């Protein structure tokens, strides 16, 4: 079976895949129209009937779904199944407003396990592996998603969940963890702690599967070096399924979308127009096998692009680029779009030894003008015994930020480990402007 | 002739100096001389101690950013003009001083000055040539 979990689906020809997607789409649209009142109302409003959707080519006739639709129909309004058939509930960690609730049938959970299993196998996982899951377990989809994937492909799952870093490292040593699954910022923190404790030789990880937040190539290299592993990206969002919507193979040049379960599109975020492969735009997914919550053309707010260039791994599934950041994370400062990942890239370019210092963006509004301060933890590569030396470092960082962001920022070096570390998702931004509104 | 100075990055927050000095006390490190350079946001604490390597290790293990900086120490007469002479020598030889600080010793009539210059070797050479007393590492640590 090589390094595929489901060779048939992962290497299917384009024509066969389109036929399969069309068949599944037609069925999904019919189910949604019949069982989800808000969808029926949306389709009726623009005069679209289920019979107008005959193939994937008709997809663009359908209206979009947004996070607002989920909020408006909180908690179960968009479910296509009665409660008796819903097996599990999860909720997104929504940073703004009400959280969004998602549901799964027994069959949905099986599909979820399947797509996460494909990701683990693509990262080099096999039945003999010990899968160390440090994503949080609970309503967040990270923990259980990888857990179901590990069970499906036959690895031994260690459900450690998030937190207690020293204990995590002890478990890695004692239980012989070989594959780590967690957020990239936590992987970095684990790596840092492993190095501080001097136990690199006692850890036997070979690969990592990291997702749920944006990360940079520089971060990948650093995680790989600190933990001596190959780091793979995994993408997902709870509204669509959870981790495993797309995943990285050994080539590490983008994530293969599980197209037999999800149709992916790239649209212009302003006009909603579908863009051709290779264009940058907003990712939109349509669930075509989901029973409990089959979302149609769900707008992710993630900025990415698609590529159908043949992949050396043999998979024919389309690849999406690592999202530049969720637009939830995107800040608009003085009219300029800023992603925290860009700040990270700037810092790595300045830091001589290739390690990523911790940082935090503090955005405020003073006299109607947005201000950006970037606090960066002092690192031995930035330190000098003279004030001038340290101020020069701050200027160097500010100059690089200006170059990358097109925005001037105040840079402040702070003491190591003084910025808040989260054991789950990294808190990269403090936007004080929201507090004043 | 070259002395190791401990340079520590300190944020301008209450209690930082109290913590650092307590850690050094616990490690039985004796402070010979110190100076603090401060700005709005941060300071650099510079210390001459009896055991710089131990002090560095102690502070590093508590998460401080620390560097050992090479400086030189001169002994001068504790009287008007005592410092003017060596300064003139450095100036005339094109050696600029990044920073310096002084302390007096138990030896009567002698003061010591820690100098941080760009080129230690050159500074040592011109000072010695002009008869200025340079203090050895052992002497400073054991004062």
Q: Is the pLDDT of residue A418 over 70?
A: yes
Q: Which residues of A touch B116 (CB under 8 A)?
A: 385-386
| Same-domain pairing of B10 and B46 | yes
Nearest-10 crossing angle of helices A340-350, A217-227: 60
Could you say which of B44, B68, B92 is where a domain stops?
Answer: B68
| Same-domain pairing of B23 and B36 | yes
| Same-domain pairing of B55 and B79 | no
| Same-domain pairing of B50 and B83 | no
- Please report, rounded to a whole number, the percentage of residues in chain A having pLDDT higher than 70: 94
CB-based contact, B10 to chain A, within 8 Å: yes
Please state, in angstroms and rounded to a whole number, the distance separating the CA atoms of residues A181 and A93.
18
ipTM for the predicted complex: 0.85
Residue A358, pLDDT score: 86
CB-based contact, B116 to chain A, within 8 Å: yes
| Same-domain pairing of B53 and B106 | no
B69 vs A385, A391, A414: nearest CB:
A385
| Same-domain pairing of B54 and B90 | no
| Same-domain pairing of B136 and B78 | yes
Average pLDDT (A283-307) is 96
Could you say which of B47, B68, B89 is where a domain stops?
Answer: B68
| Same-domain pairing of B16 and B55 | yes
Query: Average per-residue pLDDT in chain A?
Result: 90
| Same-domain pairing of B64 and B74 | no
Please state, in angstroms and rounded to a whole number, the distance separating the CA atoms of residues A273 and A202.
52
Across the interface, whether the CB atoms of A412 and B10 are under 8 A apart is answered no
Range of the domain at B24: 2-68
Q: Is the pLDDT of residue B58 over 70?
A: yes
Could you say which of B43, B68, B93 is where a domain stops?
Answer: B68
- Please report, rounded to a whole number, the percentage of residues in chain A having pLDDT higher than 90: 69
| Same-domain pairing of B102 and B50 | no
Across the interface, whether the CB atoms of A383 and B67 are under 8 A apart is answered yes
Number of domains chain B contains: 2
Residue A311, pLDDT score: 95
DSSP A193-254: HHHHHT-GGG----EEEEESS---HHHHHHHHHHHTSEEEEEEEETTTTEEEEEEE-TT-SS
Residue B98, pLDDT score: 93
Please report the domains of chain A, with CATH numbers, ordered by start residue: 1-325 (3.40.50.12780), 331-436 (3.30.300.30)
Please state which of the ranges A273-287, A361-375, B57-71 shows the lowest mean pLDDT.
Answer: A361-375
Label residue B138 left, alpha or beta by phi (over 0 means left) and psi (-120 to 50 means alpha): alpha
| Same-domain pairing of B74 and B87 | yes
User: How far is C-alpha A406 from the geometric centre of its chain's CA atoms?
Assistant: 26
B109/chain A closest Cα distance in angstroms: 30
Q: Is the pLDDT of residue A427 over 90?
A: no
B63 vs A390, A413, A417: nearest CB:
A417
Scan residues 369-398 of A and list those with Cβ closer than 8 Å to B.
378-380, 383-388, 390-391
Q: Is the pLDDT of residue B142 over 50?
A: yes
Q: Which residues of A touch B39 (CB under 8 A)?
A: 387, 391
B2-56 confidence digits (pLDDT tens): 999 999 999 988 899 999 999 999 999 999 999 999 888 899 999 999 999 999 9
CB-based contact, A404 to chain B, within 8 Å: no
Residue A92, pLDDT score: 73
Length of chain A measured in residues? 437
The CATH number for B52's domain is 3.30.2130.10
Q: Which residues of A touch B63 (CB under 8 A)?
A: 415-417
| Same-domain pairing of B116 and B57 | no
């Amino acid at each position: 079976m090589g390094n595929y979990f489901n060779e048939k689906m992962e290497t299917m020809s384009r024509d066969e895949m389109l036929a399969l997607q069309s068949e599944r789409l037609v069925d999904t649209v019919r189910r949604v129209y019949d069982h989800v009142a808000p969808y029926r109302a949306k389709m009726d409003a623009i005069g679209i009937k289920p019979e107008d959707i005959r193939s994937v080519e008709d997809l663009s006739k359908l209206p979009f779904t947004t996070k607002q639709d989920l909020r408006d129909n909180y908690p179960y309004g968009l479910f296509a199944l009665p409660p008796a058939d819903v097996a599990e509930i999860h909720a997104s960690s929504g940073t703004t407003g009400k959280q969004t609730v998602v549901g799964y049938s027994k069959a949905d959970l099986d599909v979820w396990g399947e797509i996460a299993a494909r990701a683990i196998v693509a990262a080099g996982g096999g039945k003999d592996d010990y899968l160390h899951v440090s994503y949080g377990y609970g309503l967040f989809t990270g923990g259980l998603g990888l857990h179901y994937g590990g069970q499906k492909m036959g690895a031994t799952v260690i459900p450690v969940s998030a937190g207690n870093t020293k204990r995590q490292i002890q478990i890695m040593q004692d239980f012989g963890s070989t594959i780590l699954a967690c957020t990239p910022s936590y992987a970095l923190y684990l790596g840092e702690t492993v190095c501080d404790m001097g136990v690199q030789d006692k850890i036997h990880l070979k690969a990592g599967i990291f997702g749920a937040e944006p990360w940079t190539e520089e971060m990948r290299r650093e995680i790989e070096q600190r933990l001596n592993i190959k780091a793979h990206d995994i993408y997902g969002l709870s509204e669509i399924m959870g981790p495993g919507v797309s995943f990285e193979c050994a080539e590490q040049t983008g994530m293969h979308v599980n197209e037999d379960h999800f149709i992916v599109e790239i649209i212009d975020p302003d006009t909603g127009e579908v863009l051709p492969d290779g264009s940058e735009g907003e990712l939109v997914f349509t669930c075509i096998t989901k029973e409990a919550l089959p979302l149609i053309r769900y707008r992710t707010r993630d900025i990415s692009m698609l590529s159908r260039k043949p992949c050396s791994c043999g998979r024919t599934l389309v690849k999406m680029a690592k999202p530049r950041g969720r637009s939830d994370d995107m800040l608009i400062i003085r009219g300029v779009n800023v992603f925290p990942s860009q700040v990270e890239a700037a810092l790595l370019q300045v830091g001589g030894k290739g390690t990523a210092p911790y940082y935090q963006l503090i955005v405020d509004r003073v006299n109607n003008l947005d201000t950006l301060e970037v606090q960066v933890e002092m690192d031995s590569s930035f330190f000098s015994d003279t004030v001038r030396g340290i101020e020069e470092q701050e200027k160097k960082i500010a100059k690089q930020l200006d170059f990358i962001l097109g925005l001037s920022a105040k840079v402040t070096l702070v003491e190591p480990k003084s910025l808040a570390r989260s054991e789950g998702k990294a808190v990269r931004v403090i936007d004080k402007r929201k507090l004043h509104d | 002739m070259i002395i190791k100075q401990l340079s520590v990055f300190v944020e301008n927050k209450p209690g930082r100096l109290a913590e650092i000095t307590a850690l050094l006390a616990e490690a039985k490190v004796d402070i010979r001389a110190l100076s603090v350079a401060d700005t709005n946001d941060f300071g650099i604490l510079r210390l001459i101690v009896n055991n710089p390597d131990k002090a560095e290790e102690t502070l590093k293990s508590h998460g401080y950013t620390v560097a050992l900086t090479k400086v030189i120490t001169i002994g001068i007469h504790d009287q008007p003009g005592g410092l003017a002479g060596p300064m003139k020598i450095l100036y005339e030889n094109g050696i600029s001083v990044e920073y310096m600080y002084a302390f007096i010793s138990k030896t009567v009539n002698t003061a010591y000055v820690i100098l941080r210059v760009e080129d230690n070797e050159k500074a040592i050479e011109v000072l010695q040539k002009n008869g200025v007393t340079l203090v050895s590492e052992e002497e400073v640590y054991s004062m």
